[in-house]
Structure formats: structure tokens, C-alpha cells
Amino acid sequence: METTTLLNIPIERTRHSGLGGVDWNHLAFGQHNADHMLLSDYANGAWGNPQIVPFANFSLSPAALCLHYGQTIFEGMKAFRLPDGKINIFRPEKHYDRLTISAERLCMPVVSREVFIGGLSRLVDLDRQWVPATPGGALYLRPFIIATEARLGVKISDNYRFAVVSSPAGPLYPQPLRVKIERSFVRAARGGTGFAKCGGNYAAAFYPAKLAKEQGYDQVLWTDGKENNFIEESGTMNAFFVIDHVLVTPPLSDSILDGVTRDSLLALAARAGIPAEERPVSVDELQAAFRKGTITEAFGAGTAAVISPIRTIGIDGVDYDLPAYNDLGQEPAIRSGRNGQVPVHIRLRTTLDRIRYGLEPDPFGWNHIV
Ligand SMILES: *Cc1c(COP(=O)(O)O)cnc(C)c1O
């Protein structure tokens, strides 16, 4: 656990807080924005002084490069309210590292680590009343950088805006998903931008997901861009399986996003003595595992929903069902799976939540306290 230094920067406070309009017991994801945002603009080769201002629309030239050529990157992270009222920002260092990796791929400059973490901490401190006190709630933080130079020609922008906005989120206990293994479309190809959190990756994923929905699925399980045979990700989450009692996830590559949740779950599994492997998972292996009954769990992992259990996987027109686990993480009503054992995804999620909400020690130094 680290206590974060707050960056000393100019703050313009809102005169119209939106706090009064929030129904804390019925929060839809992304419905409200907290009162303030952090801004810094890049021009003449340098970032200007960061500042915090009331949440408001940007003014942008219609010719701004981000609007035409997709030079945008973002992060998604969360802050949690601890029992003593302090706020915990989860793993901002790892999110900063990833932002720099995305920035390099998109030829964008990135603010200093000090501005990112210190500024974020100052923003969370100012908007701390926006961090839900409801069980399972969190403040979702969205740092992003966009190309702002006004120029219709295709080029690397000379001007950028870094901003952080935030949105309170209620507990998310996602319904188990029906997913389809995507064999035609690809999310990311070797040499592409799959490892970067850049806007274009998401727009390009809408159409296959829309087709999957029309076929009665909630999402697609992406396969590799070369053979369409190895699992890559589950929608916009990292994919995990439990096969023969081993937690399995595809290895990182340039077509897989290095998820902070993925990394955290692997660390927790190692500590709990749950066998885990980062290795390629082929569609054939999944099919065989369903036939033999050795696959017991499948789920997506990411910051927004934490863990999204999968109940059905569609492989080339045939649906394969997984054992039903209900009440994900909703203690004390955790239902056990086969052999009376608590499913791996529920064990991992429970531990992750307990660390983030300060209910058990944080041996990894993940929590940044504001
Ligand atoms: C953000 C994201 C994830 C999950 O990353 P987290 O850091 O765990 O939130 C996984 N896959 C894709 C494609 C993503 O954009």
C-alpha cells in the first residue's frame, strides 16, 4: 500500500455539483460524470501545466486529427472506498506503463508519470464524494489522450490533449454470457495495434459483435488473425478458462491487450497455489475439453466488469454449455461448483475485491491510497 503524493496544480471548482442528482442504488455504468476533470495540452513539443476544471464539453476544430484518423488512446481504471473512508486507486503505475506503450504505437507523447499519478490522485481527492460507498461500487477513471491539431492531411499530430474524467459505477455482477467463437473477423492481427488501448480497435469490433448478437450471442471470442484457430480475447476482456483444474489464459502478444485484471488474477492464482498457465488455447482443444467434460469454467477479465463468466461457447454452429455458477461473488450465497469446490473465478474475484476494498492486506503494493 502506498500513500500517493497529490500534485499541486490549479483547481477551478464547479459551482454546480451533480452529486445531488445521483441515485446511488441504481447506477448504470457511465451514466454520470463526476464534477471535475484533469486537463493538460501538448504543443511545441511539450506538455503544458496540468489543471483541474469543472467537467464540460471540449472545444475542438472539426479538422482535429483525432476525429478523422483515430489517433486516440485511453485507459480504464478504478478507485475504491476503504472502510476508513480513504480512497484506493488500483494499480495506477501499471496503467501508466500501458498508456506509454499505447502512446508509442500511436506515435503520441505521454504526460510524465508524476502528472499522471499525482494529477489523477488530486482529481480523485477533489471528487472523493463521487466514489460510491455502496458495496461493490467504484469510481471508474478514464484517462485519455487525443490528437488535437487541426489539419485534414494524414499526419502525426503536433498537438494533443490529455484528460481524465470519471464516472461512479455500481456493483456489476454480470449475467453469464453466451459467446461465439469468431472464425471470420479478427480483432487484431500480428503487427497491428491489438496490444494498444486505442480507439480504432473498438470501432472495428462493433460489427462482428453486432452480427453475433443477431445470432443469439452476447459477445464473440476472438481468434488469431492468421489461422482463426487460437483464442485471443473475450470481447474487450482477456479470456480465461479452467481446463483440468488449471487456470489457462492465452499468452501476451502484439494482438492481445496486457490487462491489469489479467495480471492481477494470475498473481492471485500463483499466491493461492492455483495452477495456472499462459499458453495458446486452440478451438480444437476447447472442443475436445467439452467432449471430455474437463473444461469447467470460462470467463472474461477486465476492469469494468472484473470477471464476466461465460455459460455457453458456440463453436462452428454448435453450442457447448458450462456448469452454471450463480451469485458471482455475492457472499454469503456463493454456490459451489463441481466437487463442492468454490469455482476458481469466484475465489479469485473475492480475493481481488477484498484487497481492493481494504478488507485484507495488499501484499503486492497494488493499492494507492488518497
Ligand atoms: C481494457 C481491455 C482489457 C482489460 O484490461 P484491464 O486492464 O484488465 O481493464 C482486455 N482486452 C481489451 C481489448 C481491452 O481493451
Distance from residue 196's CA to the centre of ligand 1 (Å):
10
Which of 97, 237, 264, 348 most suits a substitution to test ligand 1, by most atoms within 8 Å of the C-beta? 237
Checking if the pLDDT of 333 tops 50, the result is: no
Architecture of domain 177-356: Alpha-Beta Barrel (3.20)
Under DSSP, is residue 270 helix (H, G, I), strand (E, B) or coil? helix
Tell me the β-bridge partners of 241. 248, 298
pLDDT grade for 323, boundaries at 50, 70 and 90: confident
State if residue 236 touches ligand 1 by the CB under 6 angstroms criterion.
yes
Q: What is the pLDDT of residues 225-260, one digit of tens each?
A: 999 999 999 999 999 999 999 999 999 999 999 999
Burial 237-262 (b: 16+ CB within 10 A, else e): bbbbbbbeeebbbbeeeebbbbbbbb
Tell me the β-bridge partners of 220. 180
Instruction: Tally the residues of the chain.
Output: 370
**Chain center to CA of 223:** 20
State if residue 197 touches ligand 1 by the CB under 6 angstroms criterion.
yes
Nearest CA to ligand 1 atom 5: 259
Question: For residue 325, what pLDDT is reported?
Answer: 65
State if residue 259 touches ligand 1 by the CB under 6 angstroms criterion.
yes
Distance from residue 264's CA to the centre of ligand 1 (Å):
12
Share of the chain above pLDDT 90, in %: 89
> Amino acid identity, residue 36?
H
The domain limits of the chain are 2-169, 177-356
Under DSSP, is residue 56 helix (H, G, I), strand (E, B) or coil? coil
Peptide bond into 10 cis (omega under 30): no
Centre a 10 Å sphere on the Cβ of residue 56 and count the other Cβ atoms it contains. Answer: 10
Phi, psi at residue 311, to the nearest 5°? -105, -25
Q: Which residue has the cell 460510491?
A: 132
Interatomic CA distance for residues 181 and 302, integer angstroms: 19
Number of the ligand 1 atom closest to the C-alpha atom of 303: 9
Q: How many CA atoms lie within 13 A of 7 on its CB side?
A: 22
Q: What is the pLDDT of residues 142-181, one digit of tens each?
A: 999 999 999 999 999 999 999 999 999 998 777 899 999 9
Checking if the pLDDT of 6 tops 90, the result is: no
Q: What is the pLDDT of residues 16-45, one digit of tens each?
A: 999 999 999 999 888 999 999 999 999 999
Distance from residue 116's CA to the centre of ligand 1 (Å):
19
Number of the ligand 1 atom closest to the C-alpha atom of 233: 11
State if residue 208 touches ligand 1 by the CB under 6 angstroms criterion.
no
Residues 242, 212 contacting (CB under 8 angstroms): no
Mean of per-residue pLDDT scores for the chain:
94
Checking if the pLDDT of 263 tops 60, the result is: yes
* Burial grade of 132 (CB within 10 A; 0-12, 13-18, 19 or more): buried
State if residue 91 touches ligand 1 by the CB under 6 angstroms criterion.
no
Question: For residue 339, what pLDDT is reported?
Answer: 52
Architecture of domain 2-169: 2-Layer Sandwich (3.30)
- Take residue 150 and report the three cell numbers written for it: 487541426
Nearest CA to ligand 1 atom 10: 237
Under DSSP, is residue 99 helix (H, G, I), strand (E, B) or coil? helix
State if residue 257 touches ligand 1 by the CB under 6 angstroms criterion.
yes
